[in-house]
Chain A
Amino acid sequence: MTSSAAPQSPLLSVEDLKTYFFSPRGVVKAVDGVSFTLNRGEIVGLVGESGCGKSITSLALMRLVPQPAGKIVGGRVMLAGRDLMTLSEEEMRGVRGKRLAMILQDPMVSLDPLFRVGDQIAEAIRYHEPASKKTLRERVVELLRKVKVPSPEVRADDYPFQFSGGMSQRCLIAAGISCRPDVLIADEPTTALDVTIQAQILRLLRDIQEESGTAVILITHDLAVVAQLCHRVLVMYAGRIIEQAGIYDLFENPAHPYAQGLIRSVPVLGRRVPELFTIEGQPPNLMNPPVGCSFAPRCDRKKEICEKQYPNETEIAPGHKVRCWLYG
């Protein structure tokens, strides 16, 4: 896998995105100043543990943050020169599915149980590229074939409950790529699937991506998945991106203590250790995050400044940025 193409102006540019959840008991700062870019043809992995804010980030890009508690309170999202946060709802609707597409985590609950799968895939196309029923039907079958669903002409008329997990996910992928989006966000696309199916789906995603050149944001908590597919990786912790690097850079020289811990935690096949490595402690409560670096309570190399101020971003090598006082 080669690193990304020579830098042009980035396709997607996220600047200081903030999404908070408001409840009577307080504010949860789920996404607290996330910035990154995405280039054409890149696959970028967004990695972090459950609850770190990666899914909310993707929903915020789509402006589909769960209402009424969730609200986007700050940031810019530039897609092809336009700030998505300034679009009207109608304009944004035109972007969803057409320029920005998304695949959700659990395919078994992501399809409307009352409608045929073919109709649901056609729905992804109809509102952006109106066409006759016949044309839509042909495109749907074509898409199902592309995602390797056997007997697509027959299966297009089936209902979601008649599909297995892996097949459902393929259908969702079909819907996602149907309008040839610029960016495809895959939110934990394989987490709910069996391991053998996982490999198939990942291979499918890679093939599709190579063929169409769509940029992909792959959200996952599984480093192995990241290693297989991604060009670059963003590591997220407690609502912020704490390290970003090319894939090789991250695995060979992880800079942030958390990232180092993550990579050390993955057991290596064939190598015996007396005890599996874990990172001590728990992620912080996002309603009352600690002042200073949010990882400080768990860090074994913390300095005094770490508990007073959140670290700025430092570029320690070309394309490798980290937010940690050890480096800046």
Chain B
Amino acid sequence: MKRYFIKRILQAVVTILLIMVLIFFLSRALGDPAVLFLSEDAGPEQLEILRESFGLDKPIWVQFVRYFTSAARGDFGRSFKWEEPALGLVLSRVPATMQLAITAVLFSATFGITLGVFTALKRDTWLDRFGQSLALFGQALPHFWLGLMLILLFGVHLKWLPISGREHLSNVIMPALTLSAFTLASVTRLTRSSMLDVLNSEYIKMVRIKGVPERTVILRHGLRNAAVPILTLIALQFSYLLGGSVIVETIFAWPGVGRLAIEAFFRRDFPVIQVVVLFMSFVFVFMNLLVDLLYAWIDPRIRFR
């Protein structure tokens, strides 16, 4: 099992390095950053000064090496507009985003799996049809619209919940709900089909033949075997959640990394955007690593080979 862990960790590290390389080349390839970061009518001397100060005038290989060596030191450049190191700026907003994302994941996973199991068990009954319709609906819902509707309903009309900022714990409810809608729907659908697959297998038939109570069949044998694809989905959805946080944070004025990215975009602050991209990718890779380790715990075949 140790070999499996080490292999996965190494893979994760390689992926992260590849991402950094990718970002580097993309940013250089898609245009002269200097022109983008100032405005179109900046004079040539201003551009030169900018280039020099950010090392953009050196040959590409020098830039590449500098990129990695500074990254190793934690230096991802300074934000153009905020006059702070980009990394520090992003990190300060991380707890807010993590709070949002993790709440959304927990919410989607819990309700999604429960609803998925129920609809699988009550297959073809009205409950199943209702649950499935709800899930299909949830996948068609644009999350930004959902956020606005929630604000309209609970914030403006009913005035039950706070609609912006992060002062109280209750502030996280609406943003998290908005963010989790799509994932909840997807988890429900996948859980249902995964459970149905598993419940039709030979070994489940065997368990029933032994006279095991149905509840145990479903929860102990069924769910555990169905878990792997569900976990995979949740891990993949984390990427969507991180991206979605950009919109949700904007709508609800949540002080997280996503909102920072948008602000940086409008101020043409590329170092910050770059750090946000890297950070979110790192988180995603890390989440996948966690899930891979979780697989090993669930499935002994992975552990022993």
Contact = CB atoms under 8 A, between A and B. Distances in A.
B209 interface: yes
A128 B221 CA distance: 18
A63 to B, nearest CB: 10
Nearest to A178: B210
B157 interface: no
Contacts of A175: 206, 210
Interface of B: 123-124, 200-214, 221, 224-225, 298-301, 304
A96 B207 contact: no
Given A114-B300, A115-B221, 18 more contacts: A64-B205, A95-B211, A96-B209, A97-B210, A101-B209, A102-B209, A104-B209, A109-B201, A111-B203, A111-B206, A112-B204, A112-B225, A113-B301, A114-B221, A114-B299, A127-B210, A159-B301, A159-B304
Contact of B224 (A64, A93, A114, A124): A114
Given A113-B301, A172-B206, A66 B200 contact: yes
Contact of B211 (A96, A104, A162): A96
Nearest to B221: A112
Interface of A: 62, 64, 66, 68, 89, 93-98, 101-102, 104, 106, 109-115, 123-124, 127-128, 159, 161-162, 172, 175
Given A114-B224, A159-B301, A109 B211 contact: no
B224 to A, nearest CB: 5
A282 B291 CA distance: 51
Contacts of B200: 66
Contacts of A159: 300-301, 304
Contacts of A95: 211
Contacts of A93: 211-214
A141 B199 CA distance: 29
Contacts of B208: 64, 96
Contacts of B203: 109-113
22 contacts: A64-B205, A68-B123, A89-B214, A93-B212, A93-B213, A96-B208, A96-B209, A96-B210, A97-B210, A104-B205, A109-B202, A110-B202, A112-B203, A112-B207, A113-B300, A113-B301, A114-B224, A114-B298, A127-B211, A159-B304, A161-B300, A175-B210
B211 A98 contact: yes
A161 B206 contact: no
A115 B217 CA distance: 13
B56 to A, nearest CB: 55
B161 to A, nearest CB: 42
B211 A97 contact: yes
Contact of B210 (A106, A124, A161, A162): A124
A172 B304 CA distance: 23
Contacts of B301: 113, 159, 161
Nearest to B222: A112
Given A113-B225, A114-B224, A128 B211 contact: yes
Contacts of A62: 209
B212 to A, nearest CB: 6
A175 B207 CA distance: 10
A97 B299 CA distance: 27
Contacts of A128: 211
Nearest to B123: A68
A175 B210 CA distance: 8
B4 to A, nearest CB: 15
A92 B304 CA distance: 38
A64 B221 CA distance: 17
Contact of A127 (B123, B212, B224, B298): B212
Nearest to B199: A67
A174 B204 CA distance: 17
A98 B18 CA distance: 59
A159 B298 CA distance: 13
B303 to A, nearest CB: 9
Contact of A104 (B202, B212, B214): B202
A144 B208 CA distance: 21
A104 B206 contact: yes
B213 A97 contact: no
Nearest to B303: A159
A128 B210 CA distance: 9
A101 B206 CA distance: 10
A314 to B, nearest CB: 35
Contacts of A106: 202
A123 B205 contact: no
A66 B204 CA distance: 12
A113 B203 CA distance: 8
A300 to B, nearest CB: 39
A172 B203 CA distance: 11
